[in-house]
Amino acid sequence: MSRLALRADLARRARTLVTPEGLALPLTVGSRGARAGALILDLMIIVFGLIAIIVLFSAVGLSLFDIGAESDAGPIFNLLSIVMILVLFLARYGYFLWFELGPRGATPGKRTVGLRVAARDGGRLTAEMVIARNLVRDIEVILPIAYLLVIAFGGGSEIGVSGWALFAWLMLFLLFPFFNKDALRAGDLVAGTWVVETPKAKLEEAMSLAPDRSRVYHFGEQELSVYGEHELQVLESVLRQDRPEALQEVAAAIARKIGWEPGAGDEREFLEAFYAALRGHLESRMRFGERKLDKFS
């Protein structure tokens, strides 16, 4: 792809995310190709992991006969069968739920291609959203692919008109990302999520090494208690992007929240000081076993 075509593609996928606080943050929707590549990588990880587990279980089963314990092998084989069923269930559902419910909001496949799941309303990605978008995956991906394999290896002439109609209906779910500009799956539409790019950028300076503004700004317990870890991450993202209009909006929003009136022109200094103070406050509370995930907790 030429540089001009690449810029045009990025412009088509550029969006603005408005947070519940009214802050406008720029982002880029993940491309369909990147999402397909991430899914293939995740499926490969799942398949190879299952193969390794099956080989391990087979080795355990064969060892039972090698030691001459055929008469006692029945209960053990039943236990291994139950464990294998649980492993298959967890591989099918638990893999995606575990990683997307994590702080990165992305599976290993998504992280490899630079993607993550985010809430379209700008809020925190909740467990209900992640569960909803992954439960719909069976209808979107598993069933269409399984039906396609049945047609390919079982003969398409045997399924009849109703079978082809069912296949066309399932393909609508599989190809749903091509019918909307945000490349949303049906699961994304149901859950209120989308998949956005998280490009890896080399940071010139760690946030912990930012200049100390504590001598200029002092925040008390009451001011720092209004925000949590989610808001801290949003603030860090704004500081790293260093967009003047975003800095002004965020500084004004925080000032209104805590009842301050910072001077004009020193928005970044104010935000750096608040970031350092808020991070120190949250870390100190965590030492006492108190964790504040967001402003609502």
How many separate domains does the chain show?
Answer: 2
Higher pLDDT: 292 or 4? It is 4
Structural domain harbouring 21: 14-197
Domain boundary residue, one of 197, 224, 255? 197
Query: Is 207:263 a contact under the CB 8 Å cutoff?
Result: no
- For tokens 């805590």, the residue is 258
Q: Report whether pLDDT(69) > 70.
A: no
| Residue 119 bridge partners (DSSP) | 193
- If we measure between CA atoms, which residue out of 117, 251, 242 comes closest to residue 187? 117
Write down the pLDDT at residue 107: 92
- If we measure between CA atoms, which residue out of 213, 54, 165 comes closest to residue 62? 54
| Claim to verify: residue 28 and residue 165 sit in the same structural domain | yes
The 8-class DSSP code of residue 29 comes to B
Give the predicted TM-score (pTM) of the model: 0.65
| Claim to verify: residue 75 and residue 125 sit in the same structural domain | yes
| Claim to verify: residue 275 and residue 189 sit in the same structural domain | no
**In this structure, what token pair is assigned to residue 30?**
């993940």
Query: Does residue 5 sit within a domain?
Result: no
The 8-class DSSP code of residue 123 comes to S
Query: Does residue 122 sit within a domain?
Result: yes
Write down the pLDDT at residue 209: 47
- 238 φ/ψ sector (left φ>0, alpha ψ -120 to 50, else beta): alpha
Write down the pLDDT at residue 104: 82
pLDDT band at 204 (very low <50, low <70, confident <90, very high): very low
Query: Is 103:198 a contact under the CB 8 Å cutoff?
Result: no
Domain boundary residue, one of 168, 197, 226? 197
Q: Report whether pLDDT(138) > 80.
A: yes
Domain boundary residue, one of 197, 218, 252? 197
| Residue 24 bridge partners (DSSP) | 18
Sign, CA torsion 180/184/187/193: negative
| Claim to verify: residue 235 and residue 193 sit in the same structural domain | no
pLDDT above 70 covers a percentage of the chain that reads 79
Write down the pLDDT at residue 123: 78
For 255-289, what is each residue's pLDDT tens digit?
888 877 766 667 888 888 888 888 887 877 765 56
Write the DSSP assignment of 206-222 as a string of letters.
-GGGS---TTT----HH
| Claim to verify: residue 39 and residue 179 sit in the same structural domain | yes
For 212-263, what is each residue's pLDDT tens digit?
554 567 788 878 888 887 777 888 888 887 788 888 888 888 888 887 776 6
Q: How far is CA 117 from the centre of its chain?
A: 3
Q: Report whether pLDDT(110) > 90.
A: yes
| Claim to verify: residue 137 and residue 259 sit in the same structural domain | no
For 9-65, what is each residue's pLDDT tens digit?
777 888 887 776 666 778 889 888 999 999 999 999 999 988 988 888 777 767 765
